[in-house]
Amino acid sequence: MAIDTTSYDPRNLHLPDGEILSSGHLACPGCGAALGMRLALKALGPNTMVVIPACCWAVINGPYPFQALSVPVLQVAFETAAISASGIRAALDAQGQKDINVVAWAGDGGTFDIGFQSLSGAVERNDDIIYFCYDNEAYMNTGIQRSSATPYGAWTTTTPVETPKAEPKKNMVEIMVEHRIPYTATASIAFPEDFVRKVEKAKGIPGAKFIHLWISCPAGHKSEERNSVKIARLAVETGVFPLYEVEYGTRYTINHEPAFTDVNAYLELQGRFRHLTEEHVEAMRRNLRWEWERLRAKVEMGRKLSLPPTGVRGAVDEGERTSR
């Protein structure tokens, strides 16, 4: 059950012109991570410093002495993306350098798993950084192993088809939301204007920002390169990956009301789900309904709640409150 893609003519997109990612990078054909970085940097602009821990992008950017990005990049240890961004921010502050975006760009393994502790520390301190998790739902750089971002039912090399992943994906966005940071958002490479808007919004908010970007991975999802954007769009339109943003852990906004295309349309384009039975798929449908029930309840709750009070570190400051 395909969806109509003709209405998404990329020539009609309104995106910033600047390009910070150059050609000649080392991403696989159809890589969503390369497209994601390109879009993020269009929004961030040249006054940006990027931290990249171990992840596909540690390779994509190119080997010494080359790099594909025309902004300063610091490659760091796997589990240190968030604190490394915090350290750069502290150093810039100490040297009186302002108006520089400090960005961490980490995969799902570096965010959901090994980098989780350092990320929690950085956002708890409300350090002034934008943390991007580009999520392809497994350890793709090491050759497709399960992470805690891998969805229920998926094949990976460590969850073979005989025992596919039995647990649902960890809800990283809600974990960030519960740190009550100023801004948390999901985004998709198939919705570039929405993504760019969110990055531009994050740039203007002091404190910790977390953007969870869903990306396709032909090598790891066992999908066709030409379908990368289509699969990313179906992740949203089937309701698997909702596009929403949360301010101060309180105010939820759903940015795109999905068509709720049947989840099979999303699954059938990816070899990692080929082994699934109708029973598995039915379990997924039930889970999707339950997740959306929860999400809509949070939207409702957020409407009734006021933003956090002033006077507590990390809460809305007065100036910002009145500008909203």
Partner 1 sequence: MRMVVKGNGAVAHAVRLSRAQVVSAYPITPQTSIIEEIATMVAKGQLDARFIKVESEHSALAGCISASSAGARAFTATSAQGLALMHELIHWAAGARLPIVLANVNRAMAPGWSIWTDQNDSLSQRDTGWMQIYCESSQEVVDSVIQAFKVSERVLLPTMVVLDAFFLSHTFEDVEMPEQEVVDSFLPPLELPHKMDLAHPAALGNLVFPDRYMEFRRKMDLAHDLALGVWDEVGREWGQLTGRTYRIVEEYRMDGAELVLVTAATAGSTARPVVDQLREAGVPVGLVRLRVFRPFPASILRSLLGGRAKVLVLDRNCSFGHHGIFHQEVKSALYDLPQAEQPRVCGVIAGLGGRDITPDDLEEMLTGVWKDRITDPVTWWDVLSAQDPAKAALAMS
Note the residues at the interface with partner 1 (CB under 8 A): 46-47, 49, 51, 58-59, 61-64, 66-67, 69-77, 79-80, 83-88, 90-95, 100, 117-118, 120-121, 124-125, 127
Q: What angle do CA 60, 63, 68 make, to 5 degrees?
A: 50
Nearest residue (CB) to partner 1, 4 versus 64: 64
Sequence length of the chain is 324
The answer to whether 306 and 247 have CB atoms below 8 angstroms apart is no
Helix-then-strand count for the chain, H and E: 12, 8
Select 19 or 124, whichever has its Cβ closest to partner 1: 124
Q: How far is the CB of 155 from partner 1 (least distance, A)?
A: 28
Tell the smallest beta-carbon distance from residue 71 to partner 1 (Å).
5
CB of 34 vs partner 1, minimal distance in Å = 16
Residue 54 beta carbon to partner 1: minimum distance, rounded to whole angstroms? 10
Q: Which is nearer to partner 1, 127 or 245 (CB)?
A: 127
- Residue ranges with strand state E in the chain: 48-52, 73-75, 101-107, 130-135, 183-188, 209-214, 244-247, 251-254
CB of 196 to partner 1, least distance (A): 21
**In the complex with partner 1, which residue's Cβ is closer, 82 or 269?**
82
CA–CA separation, 86 vs 51, rounded Å? 10
Quote the longest CA-to-CA distance of the chain: 59
Helix (H, G, I), strand (E, B) or coil at 50: strand
Based on CB atoms, which residue is closest to partner 1, 118 or 159?
Answer: 118
